[in-house]
């Protein structure tokens, strides 16, 4: 885990159901950059009050310095549970909140108001609780993915395909070849573009088949090439694959350093030949960003 733009550059975000202390402990002990204790989809309706208490107690038993990587996914703001979720977990000082089924910037601003009040009540530094937003889980949200620039607390955007399929009445979100159908490819692209516009980290959605680690590796490497910086995980077995896929290789770092050195030795040049191709300033910027991410703790 490193820093980017003053915030954490996080490769793996591992979900753990909030109704299982054993699974929360296993996730916390593992190598995931972030762990998300889930109060939404992974918890049955009747179990949500118990899960809130379990998460709060679990967080309270962790030294405060270790809670930075322990986040909570609350329930949607337009439902009956979100405020109870926040009131239960915020006194235990989670590292951040995942907001599901966000309809747009207005939901983030409303969440910010709630968090401000709860931070003051719990003597938490105002504004210190960060947010990752699920931005494509409703049809309405697909039209607002570009609205998050300057949104309070937001450090990352991610997307979801399953809830979006439900929202549009689809019976399937995959093509016959197993890839995402057009609507869900569009959701992935809009999330990426929205994150770039907002200057926050784009995080790819889960891979549901946690036994297919080869498929996970291929997909993670592809979305990293597209610009994604990390990926959600639903099983501990996926974390090492994701961490490796989103970490630059030695050869990538060496090539980036070569590009930086090439431009440094030719000051004032806008474009320069390199291995039979022409490089310009955007190539230099990407190389510098890769090296900077490696140097940060």
Distance CA 285, CA 281 (A): 6
HSE-up of residue 40 (Cα within 13 Å, Cβ side): 21
Query: What are residue 97's phi and psi, to 5 degrees?
Result: -125, 135
- Return the percentage of the chain with pLDDT > 90, whole number: 78
CB 262, CB 26: distance < 8 Å: no
Query: What are residue 203's phi and psi, to 5 degrees?
Result: -125, 125
Burial (0-12, 13-18, 19+ Cβ within 10 Å), 191 = buried
Query: What are residue 80's phi and psi, to 5 degrees?
Result: -85, 0
Tens of pLDDT along the chain (297 residues)?
Answer: 444 333 447 999 999 999 999 999 999 999 999 999 999 999 999 999 999 999 999 999 999 889 999 999 999 999 999 999 999 999 999 999 999 999 999 999 999 999 999 999 999 999 999 999 999 999 999 999 999 999 999 999 999 999 999 999 999 999 998 899 999 999 999 999 999 999 999 999 999 999 999 999 999 999 999 999 999 999 999 999 999 999 886 777 767 777 787 778 788 777 787 777 777 777 777 767 777 765 443
Full-model pTM: 0.87
């Amino acid at each position: 885990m490193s820093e980017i733009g003053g915030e954490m550059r996080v490769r793996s975000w591992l979900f753990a159901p909030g109704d299982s202390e054993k699974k929360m402990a296993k996730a916390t002990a593992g190598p995931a950059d972030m762990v998300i204790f889930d109060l939404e989809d992974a918890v049955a309706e009747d179990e949500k009050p118990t899960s809130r208490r379990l998460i709060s107690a679990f967080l309270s038993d962790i030294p405060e310095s270790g809670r930075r990587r322990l986040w909570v996914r609350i329930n949607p703001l337009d439902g009956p549970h979100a405020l109870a979720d926040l009131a239960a977990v915020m006194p235990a000082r989670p590292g951040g909140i995942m907001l599901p089924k966000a309809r747009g910037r207005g939901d983030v601003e409303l969440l910010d108001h709630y968090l401000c009040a709860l931070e003051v009540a719990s003597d938490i530094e105002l504004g210190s609780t960060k947010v990752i937003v699920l931005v494509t889980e409703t049809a309405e949200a697909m039209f607002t993915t570009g609205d998050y620039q300057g949104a309070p607390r937001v450090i990352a955007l991610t997307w979801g395909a399953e809830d979006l399929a439900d929202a549009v009445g689809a019976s399937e979100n995959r093509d016959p070849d197993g890839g995402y159908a057009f609507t869900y490819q569009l959701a992935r692209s809009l999330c990426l573009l929205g994150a770039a516009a907002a200057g926050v980290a784009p995080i790819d959605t889960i891979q549901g088949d946690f036994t297919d680690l080869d498929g996970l590796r291929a997909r993670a490497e592809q979305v990293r090439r597209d610009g994604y910086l990390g990926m959600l995980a639903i099983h501990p077995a996926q974390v090492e694959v994701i961490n490796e896929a989103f970490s630059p290789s030695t050869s990538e770092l060496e090539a980036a350093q070569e590009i930086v050195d090439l431009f440094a030795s030719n000051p004032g040049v806008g474009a320069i030949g390199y291995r039979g191709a022409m490089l310009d300033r955007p190539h230099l910027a990407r190389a510098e960003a890769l090296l900077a991410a490696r140097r940060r703790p």
